[in-house]
Structure 1
Amino acid sequence: MKSIKTHLCLLCLALAGTFISSCKKDNYVPQTDLAYDVTVDGSTATFKVTTTGVSNYKWDFGDGTTSTDASPTHTYPGKGKYVPTLTASVNGKTAESSTVLRIAKTSPVKIDDGTLADWATVTKFVVPLGSKKGIFQNVKFDYDGNYIYLYGEMAGQKADANIFDIYMDSDNDAGTGLLTGTFTGGGYDILLEGQLLTSGVDIFYHTGAQTAFSFDQQSIAEAYTVGTVKDEGGSVKFEVRIARGKLKGLTGSGLRIALQAIKNDWSVVLGDAPDEGGDSYFLDMSE
């Protein structure tokens, strides 16, 4: 009886396999769905098709440019909404797939390229310098989704080791942070202070009454990076990158910021950008 049960079981399995195989052959439909992934870095998008059996790639990136590459990389001309579309053959049948990309504000500034030439194209966020500018000759900013960038030119040289006070009203709200006559127009939540170009700055958050110059020191790794610094023709030129995600409040749509340069022995104020006693500079980050 045992051998008979085994034989019957094997016979049933064989019949079941034949039935399933027959169903698969009768109902099989080749895949025609077309899908792809997109990775965006700044204004550059990289496309990768995830469907198998694809050929005859025709990409329309939504900005007037096209490609026939299988996995193209494309740099968009600027911020905005784009609809890239792929038309291709999937197992012999034509299919189409689209998605929506939103390219955010990007910056031409590269902090680790050993040059300051990229700042020549930054012309929108230039700090107006007045009668109290002192050693400051040029100060401007830029930003993207991750960073705020600062560029400065000052009379002197890096070895002067001047002290910087960088005041930031991170939430653009005069109802929070330090109220001071040094720079009006804001309540300063964050202070970066120290010999920026030689030994770095310390980071402080304001505490207590708005009229009290009281700040708690913070230990925040990678909150800022000093990029290229160059002594040229009696001036020192430099760039700094501040990580928006590291300092409290900098992920909003705008902030107020001002700089003061002080001699390395704290004996005298060397300059202000903008002028001391006036409003700090508003960096509009609403794009």
Structure 2
Amino acid sequence: MEKTRPFLFISCLLLALLFFSCDDSEKPDLPTSAIIHYSVADKKVAFTALTTNADSYSWDFGDGQTSTDPNPVHEYETGGYYKATLTVSGGTGSVSDEADLAVALTPYVLLTGGPTAESGKTWKLSAAHSDKDIFANADADFSIVNGPLQQGIFDLALGMGEVYTDEFTFHFDGTYEHDVKDDGAAFGGLVYQLILNGGADIVNDNGKDFGLCTAKYTPESGATFTYVEQEDFTVSSVHGPGGSLTFSGVSTLDFSGTEFVGFRDFQRKVMVQEITDSSMRIVMFMAGGFEDPAIIGINTHALILTFEVVG
């Protein structure tokens, strides 16, 4: 039995040397992989590259800025929507991962889509109508005349379904586009059209009992808009002392030339009551006092309607 011990020892030693002397290059590499992890604080984003078998890192933050750090922190100049891309290279090649970021989404970014929305952001009147969509008096409380409005009411009740098709596009640089579609007509106030040109451009007056119509309108070339997040906004109103009312601390949209959003009337500047990534609710004023020449052009009513993103 004593003679077998050297043989066993030598056998074990040879096996151990054989095992530990294997060429590492012959071992299969783990696949190179990359996953983006991130956290957002206002305009600053901390990125972490969760990788295997990665030797180099290339970040594209979607705003023209890049980095080769494994775990960079990047601050965006402007809030908006960005696509961050990480590309890593390693033993089994190169792989990439992408992350869609929503950074510091101000109301203006929600309205326009931000600096990366090359075609701007397009809205149209929603036929679904929220439970806050109403036809109201132009008083301080927007007391309800009719509402909440039923789904598709302008189409089903008034035969004016075309008002749901017009599109309004807001660009981050302040430019504005308006598409009146095939009928070439826009939703607006009947009294306004009668005063404008005796109603010569009216296309559809099925809503005349409510002071509504559609009429021919040519969108303004090179139009612009102005968005103010908070201001005191004064409008004419038959319900206000001295013929006007002031709404304090509200968001507003105003337009160049003859342009408007949603509803064409004497008062083209409107209030934005609420805005999200996919919808916004706007207060548009209407002067409906044709029967009383003393108040023509002074707001009597308001349409509070929801708009939705196109596409």
TM-score range, shorter chain: 0.3 to 0.5
For the pair shown, the structure with the greater C-alpha radius of gyration is: 2
More helix by share: 2
Which structure is higher in RCO with an 8 Å CA cutoff and minimum separation 6?
1
Q: Could you state the TM-score of these two structures normalised by the residue count of structure 2?
A: 0.33
